[in-house]
Amino acid sequence: MVKKILFIALVLTILPFNAFSLEKLDDEKVPTVLLQHEIVVTATRLETPAKEIASSVTVITRERLEQSKKTTVIEALQDVLGVSIVQNGPPGGAASVFLRGANSEHTLILMDGVELNDPISPSRSFDLAHLTLDNVERIEILRGPQSTLYGSDALGGVVNIITKKRMGKPKLSLSSVGGSYGTIITSGEISGSTERIHYSLGTSYFRSKGFSAARTNYEGNEEKDGYRNLSLWGRLGFRLFDNLDFDFIVRTLNTQIEIDNFGTAQDDDPNNVQDYNALFIKSQIRNLMLNNRWELKLGLSLVDYDRRHENPTDEAHLLDTENGFFKSKLSKIDWQNNFFLHETNTLTLGVDYQQEQGESEYNSDGIWGPYTSIFPLRRAHVTGFYLQDQIRLSNRFFATLGLRLDDHSQFGPAVTYRLAPAFFIEATQTKFKATYGTAFKSPSLYQLYAPGTSLGPIGNTELNPEKSIGWDIGVEQQLLGGKVLLGVTYFYNDYKDLIDFDFLQGYLNIGKAESKGSEILIQARPFDDVSFNATYTRTEAKDKDTDTYLLRRPKYKLAANLNYNFLNKGNLHLSLIHIGKRDDEYYDFLTWSSTPETLPGYSLVNAAVSFNFTSDLQIFCRLDNIFNKEYEVIKGYGTPGFSVYGGVNFIF
């Protein structure tokens, strides 16, 4: 079936430039919707003005990334509305994102539309710790159930990291940063374009001596845990004909992380090391036909992960050793058709086929004797068919309706749908919006096929997908001729058939949860050189079986930033983030017991300043946690204190 889909897609995508009488691509013939100045891609899988979108979406622009001088994706997401971030200690420590209180594995992570969630991860989540902002153009965060367009894993929402498409004269860009915790970051890129070709090729190196992953406030935790990250990326595009173009994108990660055993007292480990290697590849052919009324996209992608873990004996652990490997691959074919039927209607039809595979082996030895866990190579595949209709009436009413059918090789079919209407009142510049939709998450390879042990079963081939129903309703109001935007949204999500582990029966569909809350947004640009942004998120996420709050989800979060561009050469960026109380647990691995904890709230103040001496030379400085606040994101794990970073950017 896969070969048939690929063959049909290739024929219909590549050949029609000969089969139809086509005119040269002309902006006047592109539907008006594509010419609006504010564009969002992830919400509808094609370029759509933000005004016409009912979905709750936040866009982190390249301008905002440049102003804040942040270096990693995890840093960029910290102050986003509806998003909560946790990380196990210093740079490189495992990092997770929670959208509207959903589990971290319920967020689908994309890069240029390529799914990054790791098939060999027990819950099929993605570790965001290793993605830097090099060559990133923007990040779009889409909140709420999104399986109708994206299939499995998007119960809580989608984070799409979109890289740059370099245009212009050939140039060489160089950057160097140094600062606290022995941090050194260097990067370089060659890029440019001609009438038919655009290209970029770059690399970056991130090194940090770090701080102890196990918090130093607990006895015996003093050794620093370092991190290194070598990233390579490239993009090459051809416009073969006026209506036919081709893109190829590649990115690699090669990292090494020093970690500690756990986040409690005496958990330092001087030689516990993980190697994390990843390869992301995407190729896409895009064709415009029928006077630009039919757009075809055929995408092929491959994601390859290879993780290694080594922890030999040392002076503090004379008997304990462990090692292991975890390998996985995710390949996908995606054939999307956009029909611009009329200025009031756009229809999207698509089919995708995805195959995942994974294998792992873990070995340990200690006072309890040797232990080995082998997960043999297993595969699963899913075919999805999706339909979406976008309606625009009188530049006032906008609606998106979607339906999707997925067929998984193990559990069979899953149907999801979504409705997202919005109504805009031109006279008052007011937008009312609402969404209602469903989503699902396939059981992971490990949850399905993990071999049992002498203690009992683990994997369960009878598992059903996790499911969610979610809705939100909100209003946005522009004031002072568009200089101020106010937004308020209320959301609710219900989760059922969540997969939990039972020590006697293995993995089962026994969990239920809900999350609800509100999101408030204030954006203002009173002057051309001054902008202000503030967000407030209130979240209540509970386990419906135990009526207890889900761990590590703050009850509320406040974030604000002020940006001032001075003398047309300099920029000052100030930010504040306040995280409210969170429920967590303190694990005692000597007694194998846990104690509930409530982590106190904390506030962080950060600043960044940059100055352009010329159009080719910029210097900058970034200050994090200016008041040296002591805090915990995860119980027992370290966090950075006052930090200073400085750097320089060159363009030749």
Encoded tokens for 294: 């039919």
Distance, CA of 158 to CA of 151 (rounded, Å): 11
The residue ranges of DSSP E strands in 528-581, in sequence order, are 530-543, 548-549, 556-566, 570-579
Q: What is the pLDDT confidence band of residue 206, given thresholds at 50, 70 and 90? A: very high
- As a whole number, mean pLDDT of residues 216-239 equals 89
Q: Apex CA 390: angle with CA 334 and CA 404, to 5°?
A: 45
Q: Which alpha helices (H) appear in 492-634, and where do they start and end?
A: none
- Give yes or no for residue 201 having a pLDDT over 80: yes
**List of residues 6+ apart from 566 with CB closer than 8 A:** 529, 572
Task: Give the Å distances, CA to CA, from 119 to 300, 321, 374.
Answer: 18, 26, 16
Q: Apex CA 27: angle with CA 25 and CA 28, to 5°?
A: 110
Q: What is the pLDDT confidence band of residue 222, given thresholds at 50, 70 and 90? A: confident
Share of the chain above pLDDT 70, in %: 93
Distance, CA of 391 to CA of 402 (rounded, Å): 12
Encoded tokens for 632: 């915990």
pLDDT in tens, 309-343: 998 888 777 788 999 999 999 999 999 999 999 99
- Give yes or no for residue 632 having a pLDDT over 90: yes
Distance, CA of 202 to CA of 233 (rounded, Å): 5
pLDDT in tens, 538-560: 999 999 999 999 999 999 999 99
Q: Which domain holds residue 525?
A: 2-651
- As a whole number, mean pLDDT of residues 350-363 equals 96
Q: Is 467 exposed, middle or buried (CB count within 10 Å of its CB: 0-12, 13-18, 19+)?
A: buried
Q: Apex CA 444: angle with CA 438 and CA 448, to 5°?
A: 115
pLDDT in tens, 569-628: 999 999 999 999 999 987 766 666 678 889 999 999 999 999 999 989 999 999 999 999
The three-class DSSP label of residue 585 is strand
The count of domains in the chain is 1
Distance, CA of 304 to CA of 119 (rounded, Å): 10
Q: Which DSSP letter does residue 637 get? A: B
- Give yes or no for residue 22 having a pLDDT over 70: no
Helix (H), strand (E), coil (C) string for 106-136: HEEEEECCEECCCCCCCCCCCCHHHCECCCE
Q: Is 455 exposed, middle or buried (CB count within 10 Å of its CB: 0-12, 13-18, 19+)?
A: exposed
CATH number at residue 298: 2.40.170.20
- Give yes or no for residue 24 having a pLDDT over 60: no
Helical (H) or strand (E) element with 362: strand 345-365
Give the residue with greater pLDDT, 456 vs 19: 456
Distance, CA of 165 to CA of 173 (rounded, Å): 15
pTM for this prediction: 0.92
Task: Give the Å distances, CA to CA, from 86 to 132, 195, 553, 632.
Answer: 17, 45, 9, 10
Q: Which DSSP letter does residue 37 get? A: S
Distance, CA of 240 to CA of 245 (rounded, Å): 5
Q: How many CB atoms lie within 10 A of CB 538?
A: 16
Encoded tokens for 625: 């946690």
The number of residues making up the chain comes to: 652
The three-class DSSP label of residue 520 is strand
